[in-house]
Amino acid sequence: AQSVTQLGSHVSVSEGALVLLRCNYSSSVSVYLFWYVQYPNQGLQLLLKYLSGSTLVKGINGFEAEFKKSETSFHLTKPSAHMSDAAEYFCAVSEGGSQGNLIFGKGTKLSVKP
Protein backbone atom coordinates (compact mmCIF):
# COMPACT_ATOMS: atom_id res chain seq x y z
CA ALA A 1 0.00 0.00 0.00
CA GLN A 2 1.08 3.50 -0.69
CA SER A 3 2.26 5.77 2.08
CA VAL A 4 3.81 9.22 2.28
CA THR A 5 6.23 10.35 4.97
CA GLN A 6 7.04 13.98 5.55
CA LEU A 7 10.04 14.36 7.83
CA GLY A 8 9.50 17.11 10.37
CA SER A 9 6.05 18.29 11.35
CA HIS A 10 7.47 21.78 11.95
CA VAL A 11 10.28 23.52 10.10
CA SER A 12 11.50 27.00 10.96
CA VAL A 13 13.77 29.10 8.75
CA SER A 14 14.91 32.69 8.67
CA GLU A 15 13.71 35.02 5.94
CA GLY A 16 16.07 34.67 2.98
CA ALA A 17 17.28 31.21 3.99
CA LEU A 18 16.90 28.01 2.02
CA VAL A 19 13.66 26.10 2.48
CA LEU A 20 13.87 22.30 2.34
CA LEU A 21 10.79 20.19 3.08
CA ARG A 22 11.29 16.45 2.83
CA CYS A 23 8.91 13.89 1.37
CA ASN A 24 9.41 10.17 0.90
CA TYR A 25 6.88 7.73 -0.45
CA SER A 26 6.50 4.01 -0.65
CA SER A 27 5.03 2.40 -3.73
CA SER A 28 5.92 -0.53 -5.90
CA VAL A 29 4.49 1.00 -9.06
CA SER A 30 4.89 4.23 -10.95
CA VAL A 31 3.57 7.26 -9.11
CA TYR A 32 2.44 10.78 -9.63
CA LEU A 33 3.64 13.25 -7.00
CA PHE A 34 2.25 16.55 -5.78
CA TRP A 35 2.98 19.32 -3.33
CA TYR A 36 0.11 21.42 -2.00
CA VAL A 37 0.21 24.47 0.29
CA GLN A 38 -2.50 25.35 2.80
CA TYR A 39 -2.83 28.74 4.48
CA PRO A 40 -4.86 28.98 7.71
CA ASN A 41 -8.56 28.29 7.23
CA GLN A 42 -8.17 27.84 3.50
CA GLY A 43 -8.21 24.97 1.04
CA LEU A 44 -5.21 23.36 -0.61
CA GLN A 45 -3.43 25.13 -3.43
CA LEU A 46 -1.32 23.16 -5.89
CA LEU A 47 2.35 24.19 -5.78
CA LEU A 48 3.75 21.74 -8.30
CA LYS A 49 3.38 18.22 -9.64
CA TYR A 50 5.40 15.45 -11.22
CA LEU A 51 3.57 13.24 -13.71
CA SER A 52 6.37 12.28 -16.12
CA GLY A 53 9.32 13.74 -18.00
CA SER A 54 11.89 15.98 -16.35
CA THR A 55 12.50 14.99 -12.77
CA LEU A 56 13.11 18.61 -11.71
CA VAL A 57 9.78 20.33 -11.45
CA LYS A 58 9.26 24.05 -11.03
CA GLY A 59 6.15 25.38 -9.38
CA ILE A 60 4.57 28.62 -8.26
CA ASN A 61 6.08 31.12 -5.82
CA GLY A 62 9.66 30.05 -6.60
CA PHE A 63 9.32 26.48 -5.31
CA GLU A 64 10.75 23.46 -7.04
CA ALA A 65 11.03 19.74 -6.33
CA GLU A 66 13.11 16.89 -7.65
CA PHE A 67 11.80 13.38 -8.16
CA LYS A 68 14.42 10.79 -7.24
CA LYS A 69 13.07 7.35 -7.97
CA SER A 70 16.08 5.54 -6.50
CA GLU A 71 15.52 7.34 -3.20
CA THR A 72 11.69 7.36 -3.46
CA SER A 73 11.84 11.04 -2.60
CA PHE A 74 10.23 14.27 -3.79
CA HIS A 75 11.72 17.01 -1.61
CA LEU A 76 10.47 20.60 -1.94
CA THR A 77 12.93 23.48 -2.01
CA LYS A 78 13.01 27.25 -2.34
CA PRO A 79 16.31 29.13 -2.42
CA SER A 80 15.15 32.11 -0.36
CA ALA A 81 12.25 32.05 2.12
CA HIS A 82 9.77 34.89 2.28
CA MET A 83 7.49 35.71 5.17
CA SER A 84 4.49 34.91 2.96
CA ASP A 85 5.73 31.30 2.63
CA ALA A 86 4.63 30.55 6.19
CA ALA A 87 1.95 27.87 5.78
CA GLU A 88 1.41 24.13 5.95
CA TYR A 89 2.76 22.02 3.10
CA PHE A 90 1.42 18.63 2.09
CA CYS A 91 3.09 16.07 -0.11
CA ALA A 92 0.74 13.66 -1.90
CA VAL A 93 1.09 10.63 -4.13
CA SER A 94 -1.18 8.88 -6.57
CA GLU A 95 -0.37 5.57 -8.16
CA GLY A 96 -0.23 5.45 -11.94
CA GLY A 97 -3.18 3.57 -13.37
CA SER A 98 -5.23 3.96 -10.20
CA GLN A 99 -8.43 5.92 -9.86
CA GLY A 100 -6.25 8.90 -9.13
CA ASN A 101 -6.97 9.03 -5.41
CA LEU A 102 -4.41 11.02 -3.48
CA ILE A 103 -2.62 9.78 -0.40
CA PHE A 104 -1.37 12.70 1.66
CA GLY A 105 1.51 13.00 4.07
CA LYS A 106 0.80 14.43 7.52
CA GLY A 107 2.03 17.87 6.51
CA THR A 108 4.88 20.16 7.49
CA LYS A 109 4.20 23.52 9.03
CA LEU A 110 6.72 26.09 7.82
CA SER A 111 7.51 29.11 9.97
CA VAL A 112 9.58 32.00 8.63
CA LYS A 113 11.40 34.22 11.10
CA PRO A 114 12.18 37.84 10.24
Residues that bind other proteins (CB under 8 A): 32, 34, 36, 41-46, 49, 51, 90, 94, 96, 99-102, 104-107
Minimum distance from residue 83 beta carbon to other proteins (Å): 22
d(CA 8, CA 97): 30
Pick the closer one to other proteins by CB: 28 or 52: 52
d(CA 70, CA 102): 21
Classify 68 as helix, strand or coil: strand
Minimum distance from residue 44 beta carbon to other proteins (Å): 4
Name the residue among 29, 32, 36, 24 with its Cα closest to residue 1: 29
Pick the closer one to other proteins by CB: 19 or 93: 93
- Helices (H) and strands (E) counted in the chain, each on its own, are 0, 12
Minimum distance from residue 102 beta carbon to other proteins (Å): 6
d(CA 105, CA 25): 9
Pick the closer one to other proteins by CB: 41 or 54: 41
Minimum distance from residue 111 beta carbon to other proteins (Å): 14
Pick the closer one to other proteins by CB: 62 or 107: 107
